Amino acid sequence: MDKRVMVINDLSGFGNTSLMAIIPTLYSFGLALCVLPTSLLTANTCFADYHMQGTDDFMRQSIAHWQALKMEFSAIYSGFLANTEQVDIVLHAIDAFADEDCLVLIDPVMADGGELYSCYDESMIQAMRRLVARADIISPNYTEACFLADVPCRQKCTDASLQELCAKLHKLGAKELVITSVPYEKESNDVLYSSGQDFELFKTAYLPCFYTGTGDIFSTLMVAYRLQAMDIREAISRATKTIYKAIELSQAAGQSGAEGVLWEQILCQKSQN
């Protein structure tokens, strides 16, 4: 069987984020997909007056249909969820399809810049803690990691504060942590890895800008690389370099941060190499 990924995320009609970026990325690695949209949006949430429609019933129907079809998955990858009820739907999908060889990666999309997204409240933090407990890998940004671990978001981290953060996340049940946007030093945007035994900070070049959707792309690359049996440190290194390249290209072209990076150009370059 070809490697197949169940992708659980939103579909924004405009903007290189979520499923709009995830689907072509995973296809470029030769992976088969089953897509479970958690919501439909007219545009990503960076745009004013967007309209969002949840898909709870459709998600349940999709899972039941895939069970009837006896689908098998090499990975289950979950990102943006429209509400806390969808956490239980994703947990049901994991129970139904994730055997011991299935990679489960949870990107607990819910916050950034020290604040929860406007569509969430404390109940989403509580619900997401139940979901990350089932993950082989979680890939939160620093803000999301702090909310999950119930520790303060710092403007500058120390080794001690990061070790405390990781210990609390592992205690929730997550096996491996890949935390992005870690403010370790002034003007830094580093990535932290922890397995509970190993603890390593990956220094990344810093660009003073914001592009939505880069977390989605980073997590997607982690899934693809891990399904290639790539060492997780190499996967982190490659993913961060690719994201940097995409941001650099997008800045030079004057691309709006709200639209996301010019990911189609990166994928086009990849296909030509």
Q: What is the CATH number of the domain that holds 258?
A: 3.40.1190.20
- The residue with greater pLDDT, 269 or 10, is 10
For residue 1, the model assigns a pLDDT of 53
CB 224, CB 236: distance < 8 Å: no
Mean pLDDT to the nearest integer, 154-164: 93
Work out whether strand 115-116 and strand 111-112 pair parallel, antiparallel, or are unpaired.
Answer: antiparallel
For the chain, the domain total comes to 1
| Element (DSSP H or E) covering residue 4 | strand 4-12
- 18 pLDDT band, cuts 50/70/90, is very high
The least confident of 51-60, 72-81, 97-106, 262-271 is 262-271
Domain hosting 38: range is: 4-272
Mean pLDDT to the nearest integer, 92-110: 97
pLDDT of 189 over the 90 cut: no
CA dihedral of residues 249, 254, 259, 264 (deg, nearest 10): -40
Q: What is the pTM of this model?
A: 0.96
